[in-house]
Amino acid sequence: MGAVQFKLDRIVRLIGCYLKKYASLFTIFISTSIVVWGISILMPFVTGRLIDVLVSDSHRSRVYQYVAIIAVMNIVNLAVQYFVDLSNTKLNGKIAFDLSFRIYKNIKKAPLSFFENADSVYLSTRINEDSNCIINFFVRNCVNFITNILTVLFGFIMIFQISPVITLLFIGIMIAYIIIYKAFRQPLYQSNFILVEKRNQYFSVMTEQFKLIKYIKLNSLFHTFDENLIKRFKDVFNTVMNNFRLNYLFSNLAAGILVLANIIIIFFGGIKVINKEMTIGNFTILSTYFNLVLTAVHYFIEFSKSYQQTLVSVTRMEQMNEVAAEHNGTIRIDGIESIDIRNLDFKFEHQKTLIKNLSCTMNKGNIYCIYGSNGSGKSTFLNMIANLYSGYQGEIFINSYNINELDMYYLREWHMAYSNQAVTMVTGSIYENLTYGLNNQEDLRDTVIYWCKRFNLYNKIVSLPAGFESDIAADYITLSGGEKAKISFIRALVKDAPVLILDEPTAAFDKESVTILKECLMEIKPGKIILLITHDQNIADIADKIIRIG
């Protein structure tokens, strides 16, 4: 019991705060559920009494009385059930969102290295599936667990009053059930763990096919991808079947005992009625309460199955919740005058040194070209200035502050603009993509239009059916590589931050666009530090200084 208690504590630790946040919804849910339960528990008794009134020669008015009571009970039951379902749906939806939102928020603050080997679809399905499972389990059972215990107790008392012998049968059932549960507990947990892991991984492979659709088509890899999916499906399917067999065995062993018990009670009860030792009404009450109790016991069988599933989700959710956040300092500065790199050494784990003893200073009003061969560490260096990597030797200063002291989230949000070679588009309109994350987006429309015209993108956008408001998906494939690169670059320009970081901005540009980009970098450079990675000598000639990497 201690262990079970401890594990329930873990569930409450994860979602306890929502009990307070949604206290009124919980109150409605619990109170209405108790009313519905109360009616269901009293109904067999009233019905049994009605049967006895019908069998005996009682006055008609007593029959009417019972019928009226039963009718009222049913109507109240129907009406209250609506509020049970409504509050249940609201609680499930709201808390599942809150919990997954909290975990997403936490995970996003994890160091970049956490994501390097993590599959995004796997992670998001895992978080969503686990939060739904935990909330569903908690809301479904927070009332049902208590009412089913009460049902067992109440039924126990009723059965005892009518037949103490049958009460012994009932105790026997409970003992048999506990033995079965103890034998199955661990295998159920393990089987559920393997199943959810494999299911999430399979879903991730499935989604990957759509992400890579262009690649699949271009290389006509349909067959290879199909085979891969079929192979993985077989693996998941075997796991599903093993899990099914185990669950089936557990449920049916327990349910078999219940069926046996039911047959015994009908047999003995029937004989007692024939021998006139029990009235038909009492037999009805006995068998209905016995069935209610069996249903409650059955509930505990299902509860223990879903409890093991939920513990799997709790364990996985705890792992997500405990992912340590990356370091971020507290000092906020407004404006960036200089960036100072001192004796920087950096290597990725298990790799050779990438950046060795690098020192340089970058001041406002200059363009710095980061130069080096493929894989020499240029993008890594820019990421280090944004403080995305830790574990380096040496120091990086911004305005004389070590970047580890600075609130880099704030600095990146307001004082750094970034455009990289792998263009990032988000799901939303083109205009949203051009102004993503910026304040007062509508006020920026003139600026956005100005830069779009300058980069010959304006006519293309307004020719689309909804113009700037045309919706695009994050993996949108009908804009050209150059057009996407222009959107990414314009977004960085519109942000108008004191530091502009450009990682191969011209890789997809035509000659004319490269000239325009050079012109506009020259125009804006007086107020900014511009860091530029390029292999294009044609653009490198606007640099005030070359920083060599590797």
Ligand X SMILES: Nc1ncnc2c1ncn2[C@@H]1O[C@H](COP(=O)(O)OP(=O)(O)OP(=O)(O)O)[C@@H](O)[C@H]1O
String marking each residue 296-335 x if it binds ligand X according to CB under 6 A? ----------------------------------------
Q: Out of 378, 412, 415, 491, name the contact with ligand X by CB under 6 A.
A: 378
446 binds ligand X (CB under 6 A): no
CB of 372 to ligand X, least distance (A): 5
CB of 434 to ligand X, least distance (A): 25
Nearer to ligand X, 89 or 393 (CB): 393
Instruction: State how far the Cα of 518 lies from the Cα of 537, in Å rounded to an integer.
Output: 12
Strands 529-533 and 545-548: unpaired
What DSSP line would sit under 187-256, residue for residue?
HHHHHHHHHHHHHHHHHHHHHHHHHTHHHHHHTT-HHHHHHHHHHHHHHHHHHHHHHHHHHHHHHHHHHH
Q: Out of 351, 400, 459, 537, name the contact with ligand X by CB under 6 A.
A: 351
Query: In the chain, what is the straight-line distance between the N-terminal and C-terminal CA atoms, in Å?
Result: 61
The angle subtended at Cα 440 by Cα 439 and Cα 445, nearest 5°, is: 115
Nearer to ligand X, 148 or 380 (CB): 380
Nearer to ligand X, 524 or 546 (CB): 546
Nearer to ligand X, 112 or 249 (CB): 112
The angle subtended at Cα 403 by Cα 399 and Cα 404, nearest 5°, is: 145
Instruction: State how far the Cα of 168 lies from the Cα of 56, in Å rounded to an integer.
Output: 31
Residues 357-376 that bind ligand X (CB under 6 A): 372, 374-376
DSSP bridge pairs for 395: 342
CB of 414 to ligand X, least distance (A): 25
Q: Out of 34, 54, 76, 354, name the contact with ligand X by CB under 6 A.
A: 354
**437, HSE (Cβ side, Cα atoms, 13 Å):** 17
Helix axes 23-55, 280-321, angle to 10 degrees: 160
Nearer to ligand X, 83 or 348 (CB): 348
Question: CB of 396 within 8 A of CB of 341?
Answer: yes
CB of 113 to ligand X, least distance (A): 7
Nearer to ligand X, 239 or 506 (CB): 506
Question: CB of 342 within 8 A of CB of 330?
Answer: no
In one letter, which amino acid is 123?
L
CB of 440 to ligand X, least distance (A): 34
Instruction: State how far the Cα of 69 lies from the Cα of 59, in Å rounded to an integer.
Output: 16
Nearer to ligand X, 220 or 351 (CB): 351
Nearer to ligand X, 130 or 326 (CB): 326
537 binds ligand X (CB under 6 A): no
Nearer to ligand X, 60 or 352 (CB): 352
DSSP bridge pairs for 368: 531, 545
Nearer to ligand X, 310 or 383 (CB): 383
CB of 548 to ligand X, least distance (A): 11
Strands 471-472 and 499-503: unpaired
Count each helix (H run) and each strand (E run) in the chain, helices first.
17, 11
CB of 383 to ligand X, least distance (A): 8
Question: CB of 68 within 8 A of CB of 27?
Answer: no
Nearer to ligand X, 378 or 412 (CB): 378
In one letter, which amino acid is 164?
P
Q: Out of 348, 401, 414, 436, name the contact with ligand X by CB under 6 A.
A: 348
Q: How many residues bind ligand X (CB under 6 A)?
A: 12
Please tell me the chain's helix, strand, coil percentages from 3-state DSSP, rounded to the nearest 5.
70, 10, 20
Residues 116-155 that bind ligand X (CB under 6 A): 116
Please give the DSSP secondary-structure letter assigned to residue 345. Answer: E
Instruction: State how far the Cα of 514 lies from the Cα of 510, in Å rounded to an integer.
Output: 6
Nearer to ligand X, 57 or 116 (CB): 116
379 binds ligand X (CB under 6 A): yes
Task: Give me the sheet containing 545-548, strands edge to edge.
Answer: 416-419, 499-503, 529-533, 366-371, 545-548
String marking each residue 152-191 x if it binds ligand X according to CB under 6 A? ----------------------------------------
Question: CB of 407 within 8 A of CB of 330?
Answer: yes
Binding window for ligand X (CB under 6 A); candidates: 40-48, 291-299, 348-356, 507-515: 348-356
482 binds ligand X (CB under 6 A): no
Residues 504-533 that bind ligand X (CB under 6 A): none
Residues 280-299 that bind ligand X (CB under 6 A): none
377 binds ligand X (CB under 6 A): yes
Strands 401-402 and 529-533: unpaired
CB of 378 to ligand X, least distance (A): 4
110 binds ligand X (CB under 6 A): no
Nearer to ligand X, 348 or 409 (CB): 348
CB of 10 to ligand X, least distance (A): 33
Closest CA to 441 of 424, 454, 428: 428
CB of 510 to ligand X, least distance (A): 20
Which residues of this protein are in contact with ligand X, per CB under 6 A? 116, 348, 351, 354, 372, 374-380
